[in-house]
Structure formats: C-alpha cells, structure tokens
C-alpha cells in the first residue's frame, strides 16, 4: 500500500512539474532579492549582476506569470497586488528546497553562527559548548561540525538563515522570529555602566535624578531591532527618558572609548558582561524590576540546525520556543 501511495505522489509531482518546466530558480531568487532590497539597483549590487540585466530578468518573470509584479518609481519599487500574491506563495520555497537538500545530503562539516553586537564571550562559549556534539547523524569516528562565529547584524540574520548563509544566529530579544525556533541562553538584569573617570562613578547608589542629565550609549536599530526600542521605552515608564547616543557596538573597545571620551554618557549592560573591566564601573538601576538582556540562539524551523538546537536546549535547560 505504501509503495502505491509513493507512486501516486511521484506521478502527481511530475504532473505539477510540467507547468513550471520553464521557470528558472534564478528568477525566484531575483524576485525575492528585489523585494528585500527595495530597489533594483541595490538588488543588482547584492546579486553582483548589472542593473539592466536584472531588470530584463524581472520583466521575463512578469511575462511568464502574465502580470506585473512591481510598481517602479524614482524611490524604488513596490509590489503590485499580483506581486504580493506571488510573494505569499513563493517566499517559503527557498527554505523548502534547502530542507529537501539537507534531508538527502550528509551532515555539513561547517555550521556558521551569526553573532549580533556586544555579546559577552561567556555566551559564545556556552553556545559553542551546548551545540557541540548535537549532530547525531555524523560518523562517531569523525569530529563534529565546526561552528565558526562571525559578526552579523541581527536585522540581517533572518534572511541569512533563510538563504542558508548561516546555520544559527545569536540575537537579543525581543525581535521578530517568524519561521524560526529559538533557545534563550542568557537572561540578566541590566544596570548602568560608567567609565572610572565619570563623575557618578564613585556613588554607592544612583537614583533617577542622577541619570536625568545623562545620555545613554545605545544600540542602533540594525544592531538590535526590537530590543533597541523596547528597553528605552521601559526606562521611560520607570522615569528616565534618556537621550540616546546610538552606535554600532560590535566592538567592546569602541564601547569603552565612547564612555571614556564623553562626559555625560553612560551605558547599559548586565553586570556579568563588564566584570573584570578595570576601567568600568557598574551600578544597579534604581528599581526592583529593571529591564533585562535576553540573548537567544535561533535557527530555521524544521532544519537540521533547529533539531540540534532543540537537543542542546533540552540538555542545558535553555528556555525553548519553537
């Protein structure tokens, strides 16, 4: 009975394939890249092809579908109603194709990890330790896959997970995680970080009046989408409407340098993130319920990395959401 059902499934797939035999996967990639980039020129640069060539391929796709997909203007492109309908149906295809390839392929030897800015070294160690040894398909006589880590803005990680450029991402919560699974590996209360030379550095305790005249060295939206907005909103509700001093905080040295060279500037970090830094001082926020920093490892739902992440979460008691 099972063989008959499999044969029927294959015959049905072959019939459906007849209708897409002249559809090139390049066109799907081009379409999705233009949607994501917002302009044909930006998409062409990302795809490393000429803008006229990309425009020609998009027109060819529109002729194949029989409807315009984009409204073009000097400000970029917008999806037509047909384009939105097409996007809804095809946006999951790259992930499905990668899953199909992954199901048939041996376990890769490398699982890249994208890391958002300002992640403490101990978190990276925890993630590395937790994920190592979770790949049960591997030959027991062979070493497990490598987990190389590199700086990747949180705003870019979802697309890179979708396109298979990274296997895991480390991000701050909250942030949109549709289509992803996640395990929280770090959950700590935030406190004020000052340079040792700051006028407030010698205080035993800070209050909201002390902080009223201080600017907050903070993440930009690309570095920490969601988190970059939610924490200042929580501080405002507590009584501190801080003027933000946004910067890319991938490098700890730049964080310390900014605090050292700007008199009215303070940072916000968990205590453990700055322990051992002799030039920095940490003070708790004047509240019993301070905002918290939560770091999570994410993976594409249904993928091999997602299954490995779930096993690691179970072993190391990482709170799981899938």
For residues 187 and 295, what is the distance between their CA atoms, to the nearest angstrom? Answer: 7
272 vs 23, residue with greater confidence: 272
Check whether the bond before 174 is cis (ω within 30° of 0): yes
Do 172 and 229 share a structural domain?
Answer: yes
Under the banding of pLDDT at 50, 70 and 90, the label for residue 135 is low
Do 117 and 23 share a structural domain?
Answer: no
User: What length is written for the chain?
Assistant: 322
Q: What integer best gives the mean pLDDT of the chain?
A: 85
In a domain, 222, yes or no: yes
In a domain, 140, yes or no: yes
Q: Which residue has the tokens 């092809």?
A: 49
Do 314 and 193 share a structural domain?
Answer: yes
Q: Are 138 and 107 in contact (CB under 8 A)?
A: yes
In a domain, 160, yes or no: yes
In a domain, 97, yes or no: no
Where residue 35 sits, what CATH number does that domain have? 1.10.10.10
Do 300 and 154 share a structural domain?
Answer: yes
Q: Kindly report the backbone phi and psi dihedral angles of residue 75, in degrees, each rounded to the nearest multiple of 5, phi listed first.
A: -90, -5
**Burial class of residue 75 (count of CB atoms within 10 Å of its CB; 0-12, 13-18, 19+):** exposed
Last residue of a domain, one of 91, 118, 144: 91
Out of 37-46, 105-114, 126-135, 290-299, which region has the weakest mean confidence (pLDDT)? 105-114
Return the sign of the alpha-carbon dihedral for residues 228, 229, 235, 236. positive
Q: Are 154 and 172 in contact (CB under 8 A)?
A: yes
Considering only CA atoms, which of 119, 124, 147 is closest in space to residue 224?
119
Do 127 and 19 share a structural domain?
Answer: no
Do 305 and 208 share a structural domain?
Answer: yes
Last residue of a domain, one of 91, 122, 140: 91
For residues 100 and 88, what is the distance between their CA atoms, to the nearest angstrom? Answer: 20
State the CB neighbour count (10 A cutoff) for residue 165.
13
In a domain, 198, yes or no: yes
Do 82 and 154 share a structural domain?
Answer: no
In a domain, 306, yes or no: yes
CA separation, residue 35 to residues 40, 101, 179, 180 (Å): 9, 25, 18, 20
In a domain, 96, yes or no: no
Q: Which helix (H) or strand (E) holds 38?
A: none
In a domain, 300, yes or no: yes
Domain count, the chain: 2
Do 87 and 231 share a structural domain?
Answer: no
**Burial class of residue 271 (count of CB atoms within 10 Å of its CB; 0-12, 13-18, 19+):** middle
Do 239 and 174 share a structural domain?
Answer: yes
| Residue 296 predicted with pLDDT over 70 | yes
Q: Which domain holds residue 318?
A: 106-322
- What pLDDT was estimated at residue 2? 42
Do 220 and 75 share a structural domain?
Answer: no
Q: Across residues 62-90, what is the average pLDDT?
A: 89
Do 87 and 114 share a structural domain?
Answer: no
For residues 237 and 245, what is the distance between their CA atoms, to the nearest angstrom? Answer: 19
- What pLDDT was estimated at residue 101? 65
Do 192 and 131 share a structural domain?
Answer: yes
Last residue of a domain, one of 50, 67, 91: 91
18 vs 76, residue with greater confidence: 76
Considering only CA atoms, which of 69, 74, 1, 81 is closest in space to residue 35?
69
Q: Which residue has the tokens 């200042």?
A: 232
| Residue 286 predicted with pLDDT over 50 | yes
Where residue 156 sits, what CATH number does that domain have? 3.40.190.290
Q: Across residues 65-78, what is the average pLDDT?
A: 88
Q: Kindly report the backbone phi and psi dihedral angles of residue 184, in degrees, each rounded to the nearest multiple of 5, phi listed first.
A: -80, 125
| pLDDT digits 0-9 by tens, 1-15 | 444 444 455 455 444
Chain centre to alpha carbon of residue 204: 37
């Amino acid at each position: 009975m099972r063989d008959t059902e499999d044969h029927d499934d294959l015959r049905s797939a072959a019939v459906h394939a007849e209708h897409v035999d002249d559809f090139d996967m390049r066109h799907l990639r081009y379409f999705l890249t233009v949607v994501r980039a917002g302009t044909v020129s930006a998409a062409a640069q990302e795809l490393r092809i000429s803008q006229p060539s990309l425009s020609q391929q998009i027109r060819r796709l529109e002729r194949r579908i029989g409807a315009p997909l984009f409204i073009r203007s000097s400000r970029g492109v917008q999806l037509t109603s047909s384009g939105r309908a097409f996007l809804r149906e095809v946006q999951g295809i790259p992930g499905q194709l990668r899953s199909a390839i992954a199901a048939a392929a041996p376990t890769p030897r490398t699982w890249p990890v994208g890391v958002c800015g300002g992640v403490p070294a101990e978190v990276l160690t925890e993630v590395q330790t937790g994920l190592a040894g979770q790949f049960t398909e591997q030959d027991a006589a062979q070493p497990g896959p490598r987990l190389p880590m590199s700086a990747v803005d949180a705003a870019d990680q979802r697309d890179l997970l979708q396109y298979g450029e990274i296997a895991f991402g480390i991000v701050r919560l909250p942030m949109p995680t549709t289509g992803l699974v996640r395990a929280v590996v770090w959950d700590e209360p935030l406190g004020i970080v000052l340079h040792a030379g700051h006028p407030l550095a010698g205080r035993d305790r800070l209050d909201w009046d002390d902080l009223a005249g201080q600017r907050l060295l903070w993440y930009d939206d690309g570095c920490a989408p969601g988190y970059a907005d939610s924490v200042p909103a929580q501080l405002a509700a507590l009584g501190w409407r801080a003027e933000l001093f946004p910067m890319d905080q991938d490098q700890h040295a730049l964080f310390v340098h900014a605090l050292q060279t700007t008199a009215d500037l303070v940072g916000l970090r968990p205590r453990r993130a700055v322990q051992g830094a002799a030039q920095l001082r940490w003070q708790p926020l004047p509240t019993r319920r301070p905002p918290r920093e939560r770091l999570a490892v994410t993976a594409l739902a249904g993928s091999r990395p997602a299954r490995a992440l779930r096993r690691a979460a179970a072993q190391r008691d990482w709170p799981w959401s899938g």
